[in-house]
Structure 1
Amino acid sequence: MNEAINLLAMDLGASSGRVMLGVYDGESIHVEEIHRFANQPVQAGGHLYWDVLRIFHEMKQGIRKAAKAQGSLTALSVDTWGVDYGFIDSQGQLLYSPHHYRDQRTADSAGILDSLLPPEEQFRLTGNQSARINTVYQLFADLRISPWLRETADKMLMMPDLFHYLFSGVGVAEQTIWSTSGLLAAGETGPSLEVLNKLGLPVELIPALVPAGTVIGSVLPALQEELGIGPIKVIAGASHDTASAVASIPYISKADAAFISCGTWSLVGMETEQPVITDLAREYGFTNESCYGSSNRLLKNITGLWILQETQRGWAEAGEPVSHHEAAMLAQSVHRTAYAAPVIDPNDDLFSTPGDMPGRIEAYCTRTGQTPPRTKAEIILTILNSLAFSYAETVKELEALSGQIIRRIHMVGGGIQNVLLCQLTADATGKEIVAGPVEASAIGNIAVQLTALGAVQKAEVRDLVARSCTLSSYYPAL
């Protein structure tokens, strides 16, 4: 048997980060969480920032732990949420900590941007839905507020590119993360010059774009000495976390399948050969982003288990905690009684911010003429059932946009550990559900690294993932 290949997936979410060790033995991938840490934004001077150096420090702790536990490490790659970035000057220094996407500095300039480039035109040119959190809105605001950046900033690096730069000293623009920016031409591998010209944004700030699965260098010698490691390769993988998750999907037949990446937020979509930039796609609220390889992700962002998590948080603060396992059991118990749960819209603004979710569910039901849930079990089932209905509606929209009957839905991510949610989704959609892997972003990250190293062929990735995880199937109830 060939010697195992040890790889690190740095998987960063908007509230926590993980360093995951991936071991490839020539047949399958085994992933293990080595280090987990909080990723909390910092409020300063009326603005919201990411604590980049603290995140980088925690990543280094993960490398130390992995090296101690496993010995030699071959490569690492970072995947993160989209849209955020940092500026590097001509001396290679980070100018200041990157802003958080919820920072309010875009408020005063968003209307100006929309007058120069209306949302429907943004969609036509880039395939991205307009949103104030998007990179294009943030960059436009930054250059209006701080015009000195035009002279001082040498390049802007999206979050995973920034961490790859801190590790390797090499700054590139990886395609999947930049496809979330609202700055790339739809279906192309470069910036939209029309967008940049209309908004007066300098193309020089955008580094050379590279495809997912590019070896960009090695960990800097000084870091090797600090961490007591060898020359670990740094790989720009599928750097957007959803791109990594989708790369892990073990399709049975991609042509007639949709996917749901299910966690705090749910991404519902399908892979297409080209971006879908029709008026109907824009009206439905879909966006287009790049996949690992050459395909396109046509998807919609839906509020996921956030509403349940916020509900549990409120109960815990009231001294009545309900664990994930207990929540699942409560929902199952009332589901068996054929309780007719009301249906809420998870994307309603009512549920978009922290607060009393049971109270907001009651208010929504009253507003829409439905009987509100009363018990904890009824509230939990209402949330899960409503998610399933939302997924079903989105799948119907995908069928309308693609002209393709979807026969199977692949669910990946931590949310699939909720068995009832998987079954409710099968019932609501009338489709077969194939659930797995749970650690989709980490496994996808590792799999793309293996292709970059030449250890696995691109065409083999789906089969490799299927061998590396447990898949469960759910069918609509008769």
Structure 2
Amino acid sequence: STTGLYDLTKKEVSATLFQILGLKKELVPKIVKAGEWRASTKNAKCERLRKLDIDVIPVCGHDTASALLMTEVAKDRDALFLSCGTWSLIGTAVDRACTEREAYESNLTNELGYGSETYFFKNITGLYLFEKYKTQLEEKLGRKISFEEISSYVGQDFARKDKENGASGAENAGQENKEALIDMDAEVFSREDVQVKKEIDAFLKEKGVEAPGDDFSYFTLIYDSMVEKYKEVKEDIERILGRQFTKLQMIGGGAKSEVLAARIAQKLQLNVKAGPYESSALGNILLTLLYEKEVASVNEGREKICEASEVKYYRGNRI
């Protein structure tokens, strides 16, 4: 649905696009709904599966759509979601697909979720650069680096920077010079063979900015650059939709990072709910529970799963 092949307004394959391309709609298989019975493995071509006779229940076509079942954005229009993993998706639920020129120019997209829910968001680089740099720094130092060690350093670094900016706990906390940050969406930072430190240094040098002082400061820079990008997208979505957000729910592996979640709350000035972490898998489980009538609704299932999961809260400034 993010490609335009699917018409989110008519909830079917786009006849207009297929006509323009000179293609037959029959090329596309029948679209099935998530959470509904489709078949049993007793009809599978694999003999081992035929013996099991397990019901096959399709889940959402995109793992993020399944993950969003663990958020409250569908019923809370004051909330944003942030699926934070190797890649980041930040956005909200909308009543109808937003296809205005402004959305296109801001590189925002629409996606179909469970039950015809529509999400409006942007896909940006998430922890990819962080993960790459961690691996490369471990090779350089000849030892493993724990996330606890990184978090401890970055947390102290954030506190030092805010103090230097004269903004400890004040409304300008975290509002450092944007020139000292990198553009997470720059093509060079998404390459498979990216040499992170080298490319960050080159990016900053071109802007006339000094490189970080030591190896671990690059983690701080990456986190702050991620958060700045989230802030930009939040402001784009607010401008295009004419809405103001007061809260954000983080899901995915990045939600485990307390320093990242706290920084997001601080800089975006939003109350942040972090968790559940394995939201894609939990969303798929929820659809199975619905089919088996173990829960009566998505809301009931989400509440039960969240009660059994680790969830943390962070308070933003001005809230």
Structure 2 CA distance for aligned equivalents of residues 465 and 276 of structure 1:
31
Q: Which residue of 2 aligns with 1:465?
A: 305
Whether the 8 Å contact between 2:274 and 2:311 is mirrored in structure 1 is: yes
Instruction: Indicate the SS of the match to 1:447.
Output: helix
The Cα shift of 1:386 comes to 1.0
The Cα shift of 1:231 comes to 1.6
Pair 476,252 (structure 1): closer, same or farther in 2 beyond 3 Å: farther
Among 231, 234, 257, which residue is 1:395 paired with?
234
Whether the 8 Å contact between 2:73 and 2:93 is mirrored in structure 1 is: no
After TM superposition, the score normalised by the length of structure 1 is 0.59
Is 2:18 the counterpart of 1:196?
yes
Is 2:186 the counterpart of 1:348?
yes
Q: Percent identity?
A: 30
Q: How does 1:51-450 map to 2 (within 5 A)?
A: 179-220=1-42, 226=48, 230-250=52-72, 254-318=76-140, 319-338=142-161, 342-353=180-191, 354-450=193-289
Instruction: Indicate the SS of the match to 1:311.
Output: helix
Structure 1 CA distance for aligned equivalents of residues 307 and 72 of structure 2:
9
The Cα shift of 1:218 comes to 1.0
Instruction: Indicate the SS of the match to 2:122.
Output: strand
After TM superposition, the score normalised by the length of structure 2 is 0.87
Structure 2 CA distance for aligned equivalents of residues 237 and 346 of structure 1:
31
* Structure 1: gaps (5+ residues): 1-178
The Cα shift of 1:426 comes to 0.7
The Cα shift of 1:477 comes to 5.0
Structure 1 CA distance for aligned equivalents of residues 51 and 73 of structure 2:
37
Structure 2 CA distance for aligned equivalents of residues 401 and 195 of structure 1:
25
Amino acid aligned to 1:351 = F
The Cα shift of 1:228 comes to 9.0
The Cα shift of 1:359 comes to 1.4
Instruction: Indicate the SS of the match to 1:289.
Output: strand
Amino acid aligned to 1:207 = P
Superposition RMSD on alpha carbons, in Å? 2.2
Amino acid aligned to 1:243 = A
The Cα shift of 1:453 comes to 2.7
Structure 2 CA distance for aligned equivalents of residues 224 and 202 of structure 1:
32
Structure 2 CA distance for aligned equivalents of residues 239 and 193 of structure 1:
20
Q: How does 1:5-84 map to 2 (within 5 A)?
A: none
Pair 271,345 (structure 1): closer, same or farther in 2 beyond 3 Å: same
Whether the 8 Å contact between 1:410 and 1:433 is mirrored in structure 2 is: yes
Whether the 8 Å contact between 2:41 and 2:49 is mirrored in structure 1 is: no
Q: Deviations over 1:81-117 (max 9, x none)?
A: xxxxxxxxxxxxxxxxxxxxxxxxxxxxxxxxxxxxx
Amino acid aligned to 1:279 = R
Structure 1 CA distance for aligned equivalents of residues 209 and 75 of structure 2:
40
Pair 320,368 (structure 1): closer, same or farther in 2 beyond 3 Å: farther
The Cα shift of 1:299 comes to 0.8
Amino acid aligned to 1:349 = E
Whether the 8 Å contact between 2:73 and 2:92 is mirrored in structure 1 is: no
Amino acid aligned to 2:201 = E
Amino acid aligned to 2:58 = A
Which is strand-richer, 1 or 2? 1
Amino acid aligned to 2:278 = E
* The 10-residue stretch of structure 1 (394-403 or 252-261) with the greater mean CA deviation from structure 2: 252-261
Q: Which has the higher contact order (CA 8 A, sep 6+)?
A: 2
Structure 1 CA distance for aligned equivalents of residues 242 and 302 of structure 2:
25
Whether the 8 Å contact between 2:227 and 2:263 is mirrored in structure 1 is: yes
The Cα shift of 1:335 comes to 2.2
Whether the 8 Å contact between 1:224 and 1:231 is mirrored in structure 2 is: no
Amino acid aligned to 1:444 = G
The Cα shift of 1:227 comes to 5.7
Whether the 8 Å contact between 1:268 and 1:394 is mirrored in structure 2 is: yes
Amino acid aligned to 2:35 = G
Structure 2 CA distance for aligned equivalents of residues 229 and 381 of structure 1:
53
Amino acid aligned to 2:158 = H
Amino acid aligned to 1:403 = G
Amino acid aligned to 1:277 = T
